[in-house]
Amino acid sequence: MSTVTQTKNLLAMAKPSKVKLSTADKVYYSIVYSVIIFLTVLVLYPLIFVVSSSFSSGQAVTNGRVILWPVEFSIESYKRVYEYKVIWTGYRNTIFYTLVGTLWNVIMTACAAFALSRPKLPGRSWLMFLFAFTMLFNGGLIPNFLLIRDLGLYNSPWVLIIPGAISVYNMIITRTFFQNSIPGELNEAAVVDGCSDFRYFFAILLPLSKAVLSVITLYYAVAHWNSYFSAMIYLNTRNYWPLQLFLREILINNQFSAEMLTTMTDEEIQKLQGMSDLLKYAFIVVATVPILMVYPFIQKYFAKGVMIGSIKG
């Protein structure tokens, strides 16, 4: 390869606009840029629309006057959401489930992945099969339901934490990382120096595995934050409900809690009817912003996680 082209390429990477393009390339790039920008706008638009609606007046939303930016800017909806006690119960519970659940998930997953990544462990492939098979086949809804009931977990907050301890998919990602990214010699050297497996795990392996641990932590945390199915079938007591179940009541079933209505005058209730759309937009924003705020910071890790997962271990 000539140095001229290399320099050209470097230039091309550094300052794309300065390089002359052939007509074919010009056409190609204009198509690429317009399609990508179109798709990005398509993804972004509904999100902006929701946020803008939540900051508009109730009337503007019901009459369909909000198109892109807030119309008759107001934070009335957020005041209402703030007064809506139930949502804070949901928030508190979801934060608890997410923190405790994720911690439990990551500990269990890392332990299993560590053990199954040891090449000379007797029974390793058999044990691996034991885990992997659960991805292909399961007992189904009713047997699981009966088990939870028999264990006394029905209507207990722990039902959202204990049974889902390990996602086998995440365990395999972690195991693949332990196998491929941590050199095996490290373990051999540690063993020669008289390091126990416990110490190797805590003092050497975990500190070196921050990348994969952050990936699975985030996968688990997002799953806890967003899931509703287990809570819906196992939790009766509203006090234990996660945020998503309250959202379901409001957004899907269109019910606002009676508790909220009784503290209001008739006039306020009428106003609320007009505002129900507005409130829904505000609830959507309040429930989603925390997870979307965290995400861009850890985006690079997510991409990494998908890549690690795609390599067969």
Partner 1 sequence: MKNDNLMLTKPSGTVYWRRLWLRICRHWQVYVFLFLPVAFILLFHYYPMTGIQLAFKQFDFKKGIWGSPWVGWDQFEKFFKSHMFSRVVKNTLRISVYEIFAGFPIPIVFALLLNSFRHERLKKTVQTITYMPHFISVIVLVGMLFQIMNSRSGLYGTIVHYLTGNYPKDILGSAKAFAHIYVWSGIWQHFGWGSIIYLAALTGVSPELHESAQIDGASRFQRVIHIDIPTLLPTAIIMLILRAGQVMSIGFEKVYLMQNTLNQINSEVISTYVYKIGLTATITDYSYATSIGLFNSVINLVLIIFVNQLAKRVGDTSLW
**Interface with partner 1, residue 165, by CB under 8 A:** yes
**Interface with partner 1, residue 96, by CB under 8 A:** no
Please count the residues of this chain forming the interface with partner 1, following the rule CB under 8 A. 97
**Containing H/E element for 90?**
helix 85-116
**Interface with partner 1, residue 225, by CB under 8 A:** yes
Q: Minimum distance between the CB of residue 47 and partner 1, rounded to whole angstroms? A: 7
Read out DSSP for 12-54? HHH-GGGS---HHHHHHHHHHHHHHHHHHHHHHHHHHHHHHHH
Encoded one letter per residue, x for contact with partner 1 by CB under 8 A and - for no contact, window 23-52 reads -xx--xx--xx-xx--xx-xxx-xx-xx--
Give the separation between CA 224 and CA 113, rounded to whole angstroms. Answer: 21
**Interface with partner 1, residue 112, by CB under 8 A:** yes
**Cβ-based nearer residue to partner 1, 134 or 262:** 134
138: helix, strand or coil: coil
**Interface with partner 1, residue 186, by CB under 8 A:** no
**Interface with partner 1, residue 281, by CB under 8 A:** yes
Binding partner 1 (rule: CB under 8 A), the pick from 95, 166, 190, 272 is 166
| Buried/exposed 117-138: b ≥16 CB within 10 Å, e otherwise | beeeeeeeeeebeebeeeeeee
Closest CA to 258 of 86, 94, 90: 86
Scanning 21-29, 76-84, 175-183, 258-266 for contacts with partner 1 by CB under 8 A, the matching segment is 21-29
**Cβ-based nearer residue to partner 1, 139 or 183:** 139
**Cβ-based nearer residue to partner 1, 130 or 263:** 130
Q: How many CB atoms lie within 10 A of CB 198?
A: 8
